Structure formats: structure tokens, C-alpha cells
Amino acid sequence: MDLTWQVRTAVATVSVLVAVVALAVYPSHSEENASVETSHVKGGTVTVHPAVKHDRSLPLWELTDSVAETWISTASGSERDSHYQPIVGATLATARGTDSAAGLDGERGMTWQQNPAAPNTPPVMKSPPGAAAVEQRSPGTGPGVALVSSFDGLGVGFRGPQGTAALRNPSDNSLAVGPNHVFQIVNSRVAIYTKKGKQFDTTGKVLYGPVPTNTIFKGFGGACEATNNGDAVVRYDQLADRWLVVMPIFRRGAVRPDQPQVGRSGDPAQVSVPGQAGQPGQATPLFVPPPSPPAQGGEPPPRSQGNQRGPAGPQGPYSMCYAVSAGPDPFGPYYRYEFLRPLFPDYPRPAVWPDGYYIPTSTGDDVIQKHACVVERAKMLKGEPAREQCVIIDGANFLNNADIDGKHLPPSGAPNVMMAAGGTQLKKVLEDDGIFVWQFHVDWQHPANTKVTGPEKIAVAPYHYLCGGQLTNCVPQPGTDRRLDAQGDKIMARLVYRKVGNRESLVAVHSVNTSAGGGGVRWYEFRINKDRSVKLHQQGTYAPDGFYRWMASPAIDRFGNIGIGYSFGGTPNFAGQRFAGRLANDPLGQLTLHETVLVEGEGVQNAMRWEDYTQTAIDPSDDCTIWYVGDYLKKGETSYSSRIGAFRLPGCRGGR
């Protein structure tokens, strides 16, 4: 999440600090002997660090029996969740999203406690002048988007070959689809399903899972194997027919002589040294976890980014873990990489681009600062030593990088586009009339030439963050005062890129207040000019009634049609999932196809946090079926289930 405590003015060209992490295969003792190369460039320092490690794993089938995972009994009575805060003296150092074999997440002398639930005060719904002009206040009159397949994923009621899992709130849903499989990550658990086609005769059969996400890193060593972290994301690289799994590590490793240095001055973060007795310990067969007892007490506290303040002294690095499959089989084998990070790597959003996998993160809750990183995709696809370069950007809201749908490439050498919404929640600047754009150019031959330019403001219709932003009591539910969070302060995953003929489009979405007092999906289609500048092509706010539509995720099919999945709710409706869309040549600013229900909610969620994000994925088999995942509650249940669906807009006829 991106709650921050001070604002810095963004400049036309961002001064960059590029941390290039060179990856090499070397014995474990080489961590102590590795050399560091440093050069200086205008606006920053380029530092080349040896990578921690990379290898090629066994297939996942062979890993499931040999990964250690210890379930922890905590104050909540269940597995230690990502959303607890360790208390050390009077200093908080949030380390969310990890499962730890020691029970203290590697922090000596820590205890865990939950923050009290936020006051359940209904928001004051405001919509700025001019916002209503782009609202779509009636449903599309075209045919509904066809729902061709759907099934329950991870969550309540899920059972797979490895049993069941007690999943914490929020779900942090991530989804990817390949030629024959559907791959899902929910918080810190993985599942793989069949997809009907050449290999299977049915969709949705569980082949694998639930297993901890770090199962993929079994035998790899280091933090990636030892720590099962939340916020992991899966992508299918349609350009190369490979699977990509990215998992951040939110706690610091041991101090080491080759670790990257923080790129800007400021109070040091509190040192957090992993390595408690038994953690990570010798790899052991993966056991089927027993059901967790129900959580006790209030809802999990807001997840926040790493606190960068703490006592002065040596500090170990964070890590970012990557696994890239050697082919289109999600069971592997995988090439696996770990890169050390000097800054807290919160909320990664991987994006596929020809010259790299781009991963923006947020770095702390006392600065408005983002870490925009790119890893050397071409080398990773071959299982070769690879590098990662990172740029620090101050004064930016939450970033998303352009993520390619389809196989038509942008021009060779085209920079990746990053976008962010305007406003600053903690300064109570909850409205804006612009979307902000950066251009990220990476140079693998000469890292000193890597640069980010921007931001450029693109004028759009005014908007007000839905319910005032993130971690707010927003969407009402029937029969209870408990409202659900909307994450209204940011552009949601994914920022989708698609090239259709000679036209290059980007689609972005976020959640806004509507004039009817509900919530709507604000969506944009941007076009990229020949000079790589970005312009607004169309925009709309889908708000056909006074209810709430929020936390959306978009996709563009091979015809240029746009599909958007989103949560739907508001009394008397329980929160569920819906999908709407438009054809490429339909009237501008309208989702012309009638809304389709993926799943109706059946019960109340008694925690504020709702999903945090959802995700679409394009099916590579036909390049037009759009998959989407989101949460709902079954009748009588107290925790969520996820629902996975496949949608086809008119003209999409399935496999080809």
C-alpha cells in the first residue's frame, strides 16, 4: 500500500539512481568475496553488485514433497499473517506478508499484535465539477459478454492434492493463463488448474496446491527459499510462452559486504536479521497443512510499507525473487533468481515488455517514493546470469508499468510507459484532473544510460478517489455496519498495452466517486504517438446505477476490444464480481456490452480489507478470451472464496 507522510514535487526529468545487480553463478562462499563496481553518472550513481544466486529448479511435481513450512500459533490463533506488526521497544517496523519457520519472522525479541479496526464511519461522497460529464449512467445495450467458463479458486471450499489452506484477508489475487493451465496465487498460496484444450478435456480441475509460494524456490537457498511472502504475482509471458513468478521479501537479510546501498540519505531502517534457530533449516517434504483455527479479535490491521526509521547501524538487504519457467509447462523446471534490494519492495506489479520484466514497488511510509525496477528478460529466458536495474522516483503516486497483451511488439527500443494517478491521500488531496506518465528507457549495454523521464500530466475529467482512497470504510453491505475498502487512490493492475495494426493503445482503470453517491470504474484508453508521447483517446466512468463498482482490472483482446472485471456491491447487494466491455469501434467513452455477472455475493465480510486487487489475463490460445479473478463470500461463511472466469467478447470464437 502507498500511504506516505510527505510530498516531494516531481520534476520534468527524474533524477535516477540505477542499481544494476549483476547475476552470476558462484559457490555460496562467494557472497563474502564478491567485488563491487561503482561508477558515477549525472543525477545518480550506478552500482554493479553480484547477484545472490540463480539456478534451474526441478519440476514443481518434485518440489512439493520437500519444502519445509511451519505453521505458527500466534495471538490470532492461526498462521502468522502478513498483516501483523512486530513491536521492538517503541519502534514499529512492519514486515507484512511473510510466513516464518521460527514464528517471529526472523525478528529477535518481537511480539505480534493486531491494530484495532478503524472506526466504521461512512464516507462523505463528493464528486468534483466536471466528473459527471464522463459518467455512463445506464447499462450497455449490447449483448452481455459471454461467460464461457467459471470455477472457484483458492479460498473457502478449496481442496486440492495438497489439501486446504487457511487464507488471510486481503486475498491479493493474481492470475495467469497458459496454453493448457490456469495458475493462481492468493496471498501466499499457489494453485494450478486444468484449462480445456489440447491437453485437458475440462477446465478448473485442481492439479496442484495449495502450496506455499516459496515452494517454487525449494533448494535454491537464501531468503527466497526460507521465506513464504505475500504479494507474490504470476504472469504468463505470451511473447516467449513462459511463466513468471515474482515474490518480494519484506524482511531484511543478514548484513553482507556486497549488498546494495540505499540511494538517498535519510534515517536508516531498523535492522531485521533473519536466521533464528530452525529457520530456514534443512529442506523437508512439504506437509499438508492442518486447518487453521479461526482468527480471534479484530480484523487484521492495515498493511503498510516498511518503516525506514530505526537505530543507526549495519542493515541487511531486502530481496526480490524471480522464477521463470524453461517452457510453457507451469510445473517447470524454473530458472530462479534473487536480487538484493536496499529499499522495502512493497506491492510489486510485474509487467512484460520486450527488453525486460518491469517491476515497480513502493519503498516506505514516511516518503512518497517509488522503486521502478527492470530485470534482464532475455538472459532470464535462457537461464543465464542476468541483471536488475532500479530507479528511485520521489514524489510519485503508485506506479504501474505497461504490460503487453498479445504478440505484436512495440517498436524496437521503445521505452516502457509508467502511469500513476494524481492526488496525495495523506495530504488530503483526494481529487485531481490528470494522469501522470513516465517513460522508462533501459540500456543493458551501458547501464549509465538508463533513464526515466517525466512525469507528463495528461488532462482527464476530474475525479475524486472513491471514498477518499485506500484503507477506508467505503462499500456498504446488507445487515451490517461494516463497510469494505475500495483502494481508490491508485491505478489498479494491469496497465495494459496492445498493438493492433499500427495503433498502440494503453488502458488504465481506477475507482472514483460518482454523482449518484456510489462508486464507479473510471477507465481510459490512451494512444501512443510515433514520437512515443502519450495522448488521451477516450475515457468514461462506468456508473449505471447508484451502487458500487470498484477495484477493476482491464484487458484488450486481439481485435482491440476492451474488457473490464470489477467488484460489485452496495446494499442490498453482497459484494461479488462482474464484467463489462466494449467493441473497438463502439461510441467513445461507453462500455456498450451489457454487464455480465461472474458471481453474486452471498454473505457479509466482517473485515474492512477487500481483495486489495484483482487481475485479468489474456488467453494465449486465442488471444481474445479474457480471464478474470475476484472474491466473494459464500452463504454462512466468514472468509472469502475466489472465483475465476473466462469471458469472450463478440467476435472471439475461442481456440484457433
pLDDT range class, residue 314, cuts 50, 70, 90: low
C-alpha neighbours within 13 Å on the C-beta side of residue 464: 19
Greater model confidence, 215 or 562:
562
Q: DSSP assignment, residue 502?
A: T
Contact assessment for residue 347 and residue 82, using Cβ atoms and an 8 Å cutoff: no
Partners of 200 in beta bridges? 196
The per-residue pLDDT for 51 is 54
Round to whole Å and give the CA distance between 514 and 606: 25
Burial class (CB in 10 A: 0-12, 13-18, 19+), 64: buried
CA nearest to 229, candidates 252, 250, 209, 211: 250
Residue 86: which residues within 8 A CB-CB, separation 6 or more?
92, 93, 94, 95, 104, 105, 107, 110, 111, 112
3-state secondary structure of 338: strand
CA 221 to the chain's CA centroid? 24
Global pTM reads: 0.81
**Interatomic CA distance for residues 435 and 176, integer angstroms:** 27
The pLDDT, as a whole number, for residue 133 is 98
> Omega of the bond prior to 572 within 30 degrees of 0, cis?
yes
- 206 and 191 in contact (C-beta within 8 Å)? yes
Distance CA 575, CA 533 (A): 39
- Contact call for residues 138 and 589 (beta carbons, < 8 A): no
> Which has the minimum average pLDDT: 17-21, 487-491, 590-594?
17-21
**Mean pLDDT of the region 305-313:** 46
DSSP state of 224: H
pLDDT in tens, 336-389: 999 898 889 999 999 999 999 999 998 876 667 888 999 999 999 999 888 899
Please give the Cα distance from 268 to 310 (Å, whole number): 6
Q: Which of 173, 180, 206 is nearest to 192 (CA)?
A: 206
CA–CA separation, 643 vs 632, rounded Å? 7
Domain ranges of the chain: 19-648
Q: Is the pLDDT of residue 1 over 60?
A: no
Q: Transcribe 554-573 into DSSP letters.
A: EEE-TTS-EEEEEEEEETTE
